[in-house]
Amino acid sequence: MKKPVYPFVAIVGQEDLKLSLVLNVVHPALGGVLILGEKGTAKSTAVRGLGRLLGEIEVYEHDPFNTAPGQPIPSQVARVPGQGEPRVVRRAVPLVDLPISATEDRVVGTLDLERALKSGESRIQPGLLAGAHRGILYVDEVNLLDDHVVDLLLDVAAMGVNTVEREGISFAHPSRFTLVGTMNPEEGELRPQLLDRFGLCVRVEGLRDPSLRVEVIRRRLAHESDAQAFAAGFAKEERELSERIVAAKERVASVGWSDAILLQIARTSLSAGVDGHRADLVMLQGARALAAWEGRTEVLEDDVERISRLALPHRMRRQPFAEMGT
Amino acid sequence: MTSGSERRAMPFPLAALVGQEDLRLCLLLAAVDPRLGGVLLRGEKGTAKSTAARGLSEIVGDGVPFVDLPLGATEDRVLGHLDLERAIADGEAAWRPGLLSRVDGGILYVDEVNLLDDHLVECLLDACESGVNRLEREGLSHAHPSRFTMIGTMNPEEGDLRPQMLDRFALSVRVAGEQEDGPRMEVMRRRLAYDSDPASFRGQWLDATRRLRERLTQAREILPSVVLGSSLQDFIAEVAVKNRVAGHRADLAMARASRALAAWEGRSQVDADDVVRVAPFALAHRIRPEEEPQVPPPPPPPPEEEPREDQQEPPPEPLEMPPEPPSPSPDPSGEEDGENAPGQEDPNRSEGTESVFASGEPFKVRPLEIPPDRLARSGSGRRTRSRSSTCRGRTVGSTLRRGRDDLAFDATLRAAAPHQRARRAASSSPLAILVEPRDVRERVRERKVSHLLLFVVDGSGSMGARKRMSETKAAILSLLLDAYQKRDRVGLVVFRGEGAETVVPPTPSVERAARLLETLPVGGRTPLGAGLVEAGKVLATARRRDPLLRPLVVLLTDGRANRAYGADCGEAPAAQGRSLARALAERNPQARFVVIDTEAQGRIRLGLAGRLAQEMGAQCLACEELRAEDLVRWTRNVMNSEERNIP
């Protein structure tokens, strides 16, 4: 049974969290979000709620690899015998959960045993990385993931392709996803390489304002007593948010920037002492997404300033989380 | 940096890379002479390592295979295996080629090579060394040529490669991000242009790419006729000796790379500058990490090596890669200055205020030769990696041994395949494959039996705190430098003043530890209890990540305490320390504890540390003078011993 989803717009406060998730939907090139915080701070609620704002993509019917129509069709897309091209259908943008107990074969895919037994063919049984293509891969407590699964994720995130060379299977399919992870920093750190893969990073804390805390309780109880009615109360707001996201998505490709912006970004990175160039690229893309989100077609210095607070802290060399949230 | 839109079919053009001349040069040299050996790209994350390697794939030409080795690859697909479908359909024991067959004569690309499974690394090295892949499995006997150039990337923050593995790479390059505004801006411009429209971006660089390709073709033609004079051969040997490299691979790499460089620049004669330019690439990964390659002044060119006027062709124009002045150091941003006397002087030694001690004195670490453990273990026993007897870990192969219900599907089906004709004749099952119990194979999984070394150190104002800290720091760094422990984690908890702090969360990275250890405050009171509680937290977290973990806790204290943990509990701080110590040991039965007594010798001794050790069931070692070498030695002894307490 599916648990009813708490509406994204009904989350009280947590503006950074909501903004960074929305910006990633607007502009998937941002590379995902890492959400830091203790248990019970709306981390998972926000991600699940986001699922309903993602919109749809076009895919081939029955294609477990979410191939974009027009792209080469993997040889293993189910085809109806006697028919030509598979039908194109619309499907919700996938939000795939990667549980921390997942084994590597479930993540990357493995031999389809049933098919092998029945027909003697070696075919891939697609893993979670196939289903997450063009969508969101969500890892709750990402810092508790097995090291070798992290390695695989990094590999695929870097390539944008999942190359399976295992257990008699030789197969590759595109796998580009927005990585969303949550972690409680008190339960162990994340390897720097994986940290760097997350475009943005937000720290989520319990609200301090008592009246907001009361509002959290009130809404939570209302949701639990009648989820449908509760959701209906936010339907209009949610629809408006969806529309704004769609509009921003269309606008983002046309958002331009000046050399002054590039200079501002380069200097920001250099003075923060980050490794490599990923921070620069994330800041530029993030600033564009922010401009698009606010209905503009030109990046402002203020966009860079705002996005740098989400793009830099986890990339600083010394004690990544020490200065956050203060 | 590699982005999602980057695909093999449309890589970011190598010619469009901003800066990174060393990186580009090394890749091209390997392409000029495939016999050169591998190239290792080492550097921080988000520098063009993967992008460059991918870019090379379109320069090397159509006939040259470029094969990706994914980290999750299993042995069968790397080496080759029985073809299941043909075995079923035709009852034929046909061999299905693996990656080592596909890559013959080409380039094998391994992203994050330091994270690759050790077993696969061994397979690769065998093939790399012999040029042949020999296969004996599933009733098949097969051998095929497998000659390839290996290009690996790695971020040293994630742990280093073993020296034996490093040595197989002919050249290595340190890659770092651009440190100037201008190039950083250009990186953003080009990357975004590429991401938004790869095809048209590539179109703009088509000419440059074509010129690179043509120049490569010319260089390959010239290569066989390039002469390396005897005085330069002597010079190469001199460089190798001066840098005290083991074996002869560095010499060979310098010789081949300088020939390839001469060919790349359209000359048929190697000159001294060629050697000077390539030497740092051949040396950097073969000397100690804290050293810089030393290249002595080259010999004057002997008369017969004078460049001739009648060269067949004018050298190709320099393209985007103007020949650089020879740079003796591959890493101009490196902290160590070549001019520093080699006397192991610590540049930070005299810096800092009273409460901050500077870095410890570096000292040599000799890697320990521990053979990999081939026995199945369930997390106990000696350190090093083990075949895992639980159902977690990376699948590396399969076995006939049973008992874990961890079925290796592919191997089982392949084992059943040859018998299908006979079995089908005797059965009416509709299944395509009839599996019998004797076909069953189980997975062989390899997983790190991780070790956590946690130092819990008194950083209070007592005598010798600074020295204690600097020796501990040196010990931590050298333990992490030890290649055999690259996947073990080392952490540090310091207690001082009002409480305790995890200064280094358990990490396998010497770079990260070094960063965190840059400055360490000392002084203040001695909150022993807080230190023990903090250690308990670190252990609990680590165990949650890995239930099989075997932590070793090294407590450096004189057993004194003058600041109780938590609210006033009526207990004296030292007594409270003892009860917390006992609780810590009881709650972590999988951990081993050693107390190193730092009480000053000679005076009236209280023996408090000994009592603390007793509470924990730990051994207590007293030391005349704490030295990092001893810490390292003791720690290793304990980790290598089977017993909970060292005899």
Look up the ipTM and state it: 0.82
Do the Cβ atoms of A122 and A169 come closer than 8 Å?
A: yes
Of A102-116, A140-154, B348-362, B423-437, the range with the lowest mean pLDDT is B348-362
Give the per-residue pLDDT at B383: 33
**Close Cβ partners of B350 (under 8 Å, ≥ 6 residues apart):** B358
Give the per-residue pLDDT at B438: 78
Do the Cβ atoms of A182 and A42 come closer than 8 Å?
A: no
Percent of chain B topping pLDDT 70 = 74
Q: Is the four-CA dihedral B556, B559, B562, B567 of positive or negative sign?
A: positive
What is the token pair recorded at B273?
């500058």
Q: Which residue has the tokens 């399919």?
A: A173
Kindly tell me if the per-residue pLDDT of A153 is higher than 60. yes
Q: Is the four-CA dihedral B197, B200, B206, B208 of positive or negative sign?
A: negative
More confident residue, B1 or B89: B89
Question: B535: pLDDT confidence band, cut at 50, 70 and 90?
Answer: very high
Catalytic residue among B249, B383, B385, B387: B249
Give the per-residue pLDDT at A71: 80
Closest approach of A216 to chain B, Cα-based (Å): 30
pLDDT digits (tens, 9 = 90+) for A50-64: 988 888 888 888 888
Kindly tell me if the per-residue pLDDT of B625 is higher than 80. no
The top-scoring range by mean pLDDT among A68-77, A115-124, A290-299 is A290-299
Kindly tell me if the per-residue pLDDT of A84 is higher than 60. yes
- Say how far apart CA B215 and CA B369 lie, in whole Å: 45
- Say how far apart CA A292 and CA A299 lie, in whole Å: 9
Is there a catalytic annotation at residue A278? yes
- Say how far apart CA B430 and CA A114 lie, in whole Å: 13
Do the Cβ atoms of B27 and B52 come closer than 8 Å?
A: yes
What is the token pair recorded at B40?
């290792």
Of B210-219, B221-230, B619-628, the range with the lowest mean pLDDT is B619-628
pLDDT, averaged across chain A: 86
Give the per-residue pLDDT at B437: 77
pLDDT digits (tens, 9 = 90+) for A19-44: 999 999 999 888 899 999 877 778 88
pLDDT digits (tens, 9 = 90+) for B93-142: 778 888 998 988 888 998 888 878 777 777 787 787 778 888 776 667 78
Kindly tell me if the per-residue pLDDT of B645 is higher than 60. no
Give the per-residue pLDDT at A269: 93
Kindly tell me if the per-residue pLDDT of A77 is higher than 80. no
Give the per-residue pLDDT at B246: 77
Asked if B73 lies within 8 A of A151 by C-beta distance, the reply is no
Question: B623: pLDDT confidence band, cut at 50, 70 and 90?
Answer: low
pLDDT digits (tens, 9 = 90+) for B39-58: 999 988 888 888 898 899 88
More confident residue, B282 or A99: B282
More confident residue, B405 or A291: A291
Chain A, window 298-317: residues with a beta carbon less than 8 angstroms from a chain B beta carbon: 317
Q: Find the CB nearest B111 among A118, A155, A262.
A: A155
Average pLDDT over residues B134-152: 81
Termini Cα distance of chain A: 40
Asked if B188 lies within 8 A of A144 by C-beta distance, the reply is no
The top-scoring range by mean pLDDT among A195-204, A259-268, B631-640 is A259-268
Q: Find the CB nearest B4 among A176, A263, A274.
A: A176
Q: Which amino acid is at A137?
A: L
More confident residue, B589 or B631: B589
DSSP B129-156: HHSEEEEEETTEEEEEE--EEEEEEE-G
Chain A environment of B509 (Cβ under 8 Å): 192
Chain A environment of B449 (Cβ under 8 Å): none
CA atoms within 13 A on the CB side of A83: 8
Give the per-residue pLDDT at B233: 92
Do the Cβ atoms of B98 and B81 come closer than 8 Å?
A: yes
Average pLDDT over residues A119-131: 84
- Say how far apart CA B320 and CA B186 lie, in whole Å: 15
Give the per-residue pLDDT at B482: 60
Enumerate the β-bridge partners of residue B142: B135
Q: Which amino acid is at B622?
A: A
- Say how far apart CA B147 and CA B133 lie, in whole Å: 9
pTM: 0.73
Q: Could you tell me which of B86, B98, B142 has the C-alpha nearest to residue B417?
A: B86
The top-scoring range by mean pLDDT among A111-125, A227-241, B435-449 is A227-241
Kindly tell me if the per-residue pLDDT of B405 is higher than 70. no
Give the per-residue pLDDT at B325: 39
What is the token pair recorded at A104?
């590597």
Q: What are phi and psi of B642, to 5 degrees?
A: -80, -25
Q: Give B86-92 contacts, CB < 8 A, sequence gap 24+.
A: B87/B414, B87/B417, B87/B418, B87/B420, B88/A120, B88/B417, B88/B420, B88/B432, B88/B433, B89/A120, B91/B418, B91/B420, B91/B421
Do the Cβ atoms of B33 and B65 come closer than 8 Å?
A: no
Which candidate in B115, B501, B507 is best for mutational testing of the A interface (most A CBs within 10 A)? B115
Do the Cβ atoms of A159 and B123 come closer than 8 Å?
A: no
What is the number of CB-based contacts under 8 A between chain A and chain B? 214
What is the gyration radius of the CA atoms in chain A, in angstroms?
A: 21
pLDDT digits (tens, 9 = 90+) for B215-261: 999 999 999 999 999 999 999 999 998 888 877 889 999 999 999 99
Asked if B74 lies within 8 A of A29 by C-beta distance, the reply is no
DSSP alpha helices (H): ranges in B488-571?
Answer: 510-516, 528-545
What is the SS3 assignment for B366? coil
Q: Could you tell me which of B464, B527, B542 has the C-alpha nearest to residue B494?
A: B527
Kindly tell me if the per-residue pLDDT of B171 is higher than 70. yes
Kindly tell me if the per-residue pLDDT of A113 is higher than 90. no
